[in-house]
Homo-oligomer: A and B are copies of this chain.
Amino acid sequence: MPDTHDILLLQGGARTQFAMIPLNLLTPGAVGDYALTGVWARAAYDEAVLVGKAHIAADTREADGSYRRVPRSSELVLDPAAAYLHICSNNTVYGTQWAEYPDTGDVPLIADMTSDIMSRAVDVSRFGMIYAAAQKNLGPSGVVAVIIRKDLIERSRQDIPTIWRYSIHAKNASLYYTPTTFAVAMMRHVLEHAVAIGGISAIETTNREKARRLYAALDARPEYYRLPAAVDSRSLMNVTFFLPTTDDDKRFLAESERRGMVGLKGHRTAGGIRASIYNWVSLADVDALVELITEFGR
């Protein structure tokens, strides 16, 4: 961690940050820039509009309402008064992810990493702020980790309620209010475990192999499996795909449940199948799904 940044452990989750970010950082005249790449990225934008002035830097929504990719850096159009660019690092519903983060020059880059924090190495110094609700890769729900550049804390608004000020939480080492103690304690255990198994580089190696095996199994049967995500936007955390018909999807889900796999049904707004392979899903778990994919594809 660069000492230019502070880590805060706050009550709540990602949605709390959707509101706290513009509340703190949209000082008079400033604009919040948002790249829209899925339902959560859009939800963050929708909240900012209620707080201050927000601008859409890019929107990859397609005619059918879905999102298949993240934008290229060249597609981003920032507002001249941008206080930050907000992106959602991994889009759980559509199975897309930023493979490389955009270069935003002097504009602080803010990333919601709720669904991919600690899944791969990240150069923290490139970010104005990174935040992640705990419940995917870090621990139980109820706490959100915020890594924020100290100069952004200093620049933030001081006329808002104290509990929503980053500056108050930084000054009080996240103890201004009673923290979500159980979730924080569990997060500590998860982090110690992460270090014990070799740290982020080991976790990243396993995660890349998990995703490689799943995508390889699906790509091997292109006439049977349809993958909505563009290849260069494919997520390492959520692998989404469709079988030829929705009846096939249902049969696949029924068979997966018979084999003890849970949660493979796609998000209700997207349909199809979604394999969430967060940090603590093992290679063996993935292999069991690869086997099912291969059998079904025959």
Q: Contacts A13-B11, A163-B15, A163-B18 given: A181-B50 contact, CB under 8 Å? A: no
Please provide the chain A residues from 12 to 40 with a CB less than 8 Å away from any CB of chain B in the complex: 12-13, 15-16, 18-19, 23
**A16 vs chain B, min Cβ distance (A):** 6
* Number of this chain's copies in the complex: 2
Q: Which residues of B contact A13 (CB under 8 A)?
A: 11, 177-178
Question: At the interface, yes or no: A112 with Cβ under 8 Å from chain B?
Answer: no
- Could you say which interface size class chain A belongs to? 20 to 34
Question: At the interface, yes or no: A256 with Cβ under 8 Å from chain B?
Answer: no
Q: Which residues of B contact A183 (CB under 8 A)?
A: 142, 180, 182
Could you show 12 A-B contacts with beta carbons less than 8 Å apart?
Answer: A12-B12, A13-B177, A15-B177, A19-B161, A19-B164, A46-B162, A50-B160, A50-B162, A140-B180, A141-B181, A141-B182, A182-B182
Q: Which residues of B contact A47 (CB under 8 A)?
A: 161-163
Q: Contacts A50-B159, A161-B51, A162-B47 given: A141-B180 contact, CB under 8 Å? A: yes
Question: At the interface, yes or no: A133 with Cβ under 8 Å from chain B?
Answer: yes
Question: At the interface, yes or no: A135 with Cβ under 8 Å from chain B?
Answer: yes
**Which of B19, B51, B180 lies in contact with A142, CB distance below 8 A?**
B180
